[in-house]
Amino acid sequence: MQKIKILVVDDEERMRKLIRDFLRVKGYEVTEACDGEEAVDIFFADNDISLILLDVMMPKMNGWEVVKTIRKVSNVPIIMLTARGEEQDELQGFSLGVDEYISKPFSPKILTARVEAILRRAHVGDMDVIVCGGVELDRAAHIVRANGEPVDLSFKEFELLDYFISNKNLALNRENILNNVWNFDYFGDSRTVDTHVKKLRAKLGACGNQIKTIWGMGYKFEA
Amino acid sequence: MQKIKILVVDDEERMRKLIRDFLRVKGYEVTEACDGEEAVDIFFADNDISLILLDVMMPKMNGWEVVKTIRKVSNVPIIMLTARGEEQDELQGFSLGVDEYISKPFSPKILTARVEAILRRAHVGDMDVIVCGGVELDRAAHIVRANGEPVDLSFKEFELLDYFISNKNLALNRENILNNVWNFDYFGDSRTVDTHVKKLRAKLGACGNQIKTIWGMGYKFEA
DNA sequence: TGATTTAGTCACATTTTTATCACATAAAAG
DNA sequence: CTTTTATGTGATAAAAATGTGACTAAATCA
C-alpha cells in the first residue's frame, strides 16, 4: 500500500523534527515546509498530500493565509497547531475550513490520535458510501440516491457526480472538470460539461440544485 | 442458511430499535442488551454471536470494559458506536481490539455497509451454502438452485456465479472478474465474460435478472 | 476412438451513451 | 436599454459497449 503523505509546516526546526519523527514511526511519509509560502508551493507541486499539519505563526505567510489559499482549490484535511492563548482564533479557523486543532504543547499520542481520526474521517474518499446533502453515492455498488430515491446514472454522469462530491463546495472550472472526469488529453468542446451537468441536474431531481453555476467559471457542488 | 446473529448493546431503547429494525431487514438475527453487564452475560451464554455493535457510554459497565472482558476469550468482531467528540478515545479503542467505529449520528446505510464490510473481513461469509435472492449455491455439493429448481451449470459458470454471489451488490468490472474467476494471468478477450454472463442469465431463468449490467464497467449481482 | 460437452473467439445486431450543434435564455457590460 | 457574452436545453448523429448466435478448439467421457 502506498504510504500516506503528510505535509508538516512550522518555522521551528525542532518542532518539525519532533513531528516528523513521530509520524514516520507511525508509517507516514512526511514532507516539510518552514514557512507559509513554501507550504503552498509544495502543496501545489506535489499533488498527493493527504493531510497538512500547519503552524499558525510563521514568517512570510501565516497559517490562516495558507488555509485560505489552499481551500480555494482543495478539501485536503488541515490540522492547525496553535500556541496556548490562540484558542480564540479557532472559531475563525473553522469557518476558513480548518478540520482540527492541536494546542502546543501536545503529546505525540494526541498528535497521532488526531491525525488518525482525521484521516479516517477524511477517507470518505475511499469509503464505499459518500453522503453529501441529499445525495448518496455508493462507489462499490455503483449506486446513487437522491433523497433516498435510486437514480440511474450513466458511466460519465456517475464519474462527474463523484468528482463533484469529492470536491464539494469548491468552484470547479470546465478545464478542471474535463481533465479529471474525461481523459487528461481530452480534446473537445468544453461545453460538453454543460450538457452533462444538465443531465445530472435533471436526474437528481430536487437535489439537482446542489450543483450551482458559477458564472464565468464553471460549477460547484454544494453540500 | 443459518442467519448471522448480531448483538446490539446500547442503553437507549430508541437507538436499539433503530439498529435492530435495519439489521433485521438486511436479514440478520438481532439480540439486544441494554448495558455492559448484560452484554457480557449474553455473549457468554449465547455462543454463536458473529458481531457486536457496542455503545461506549452505558451504565454499570461501559463499552471499553466490555471490549476488554470479551477480548480475553474471543475475537468476535466489535464495532463501537461513539458520540461526536469521543474521537480521541478511538486510539485507545483500537489497541483494545475494536474493529471499527461508527460515529453517531449515522445513516442506516453506513451502518449496514460497515457491518457487511466487517463480516466479510471476518470470513463469516465462507460458508458452504449461500443464498442470495432466489439463487442458492452449495459449494460443497456443487449444486445451484434458482427459485428452488436445480440448475445445471458448467464448471466456469459455477465459479462465475460463486464469485458474483460472494461479491453481491458490488460493481465488478471485467478485469476483476477475469482475475478472480479465470487465472490471474489470463490473457484473453474480456468479452469472454459477457458470453458466460449470457449463459448464466439464461440458465438462471427468472433469477437471471439478478445479474445487472453496469454500463461502461461490468456487472453486479443483486441480492 | 468418437461423441459430447465446455470454453473461448468472432462478427453482427442492438442498445446505450456521449459529443456536438443550434437556438433559447439569462447575466454582465457598455 | 441594447449589446455582448455565457449558460441552459433539446435534438441528433456518431461512438462505444453490450447482447447474441455461430463457430472452432479443447477437454471430457463413454
Q: Which long-range contacts (CB under 8 A, 24 or more apart) does B101-105 make?
A: B101/A120, B104/B15
Closest CA to B195 of B178, B183, B207: B178
What is the C-alpha end-to-end distance of chain B, expressed in Å?
A: 15
Within 7 Å: CB of A194 and strand D?
A: yes
Contact B88 A120 (CB under 8 A): no
pLDDT digits 0-9 by tens, A114-130 = 887 777 666 544 455 78
B110/A contact by beta carbon, under 8 A: yes
B219/A contact by beta carbon, under 8 A: no
Alpha-carbon Rg of chain A, whole angstroms?
Answer: 19
> Looking at this protein, which amino acid is placed at residue B75?
N
Query: Considering CB atoms only, which of A120, A121, A140 is closest to B171?
Result: A140
pTM over 0.85: no
| Cβ contact B50:B122 at 8 Å | yes
A105/B91: higher pLDDT: A105
Name the closest nucleotide to A155, judged by C1' and CA: C17
Average pLDDT of chain B to the nearest whole number = 82
Q: Which long-range contacts (CB under 8 A, 24 or more apart) does B200-205 make?
A: B200/B153, B200/B157, B200/B160, B200/B161, B200/B164, B203/B146, B203/B151, B203/B152, B203/B153, B203/B157, B204/B135, B204/B146, B204/B151, B204/B161, B205/B146, B205/B147, B205/B149, B205/B151
**Minimal CA separation from B109 to chain A, in Å:** 8
Strand C bases within 7 angstroms of protein beta carbons: 5-11, 16-22, 27-28
Q: Please state, in angstroms and rounded to a whole number, the distance separating the CA atoms of residues B162 and B184.
A: 17
pLDDT at B220 over 90: yes
pLDDT at B137 over 80: yes
pLDDT digits 0-9 by tens, A75-118 = 888 998 887 666 666 666 676 778 877 877 777 777 887 887 77
pLDDT at A35 over 90: yes
Q: Which of residues 18-57 of A touch strand D (CB under 7 A)?
A: none
Contact A141 B107 (CB under 8 A): no
Query: Considering CB atoms only, which of A112, A131, A154 is closest to B107?
Result: A131
β pairing state of B78-83 and A172-173 = unpaired
The structural domains of chain A, ordered by start, are: 5-125 (3.40.50.2300), 127-221 (1.10.10.10)
* Partners of residue B143 on adjacent β-strands: B138
Closest CA to B64 of B74, B54, B72, B73: B54
Q: What is the percent of chain B with per-residue pLDDT over 70, rounded to a whole number?
A: 83
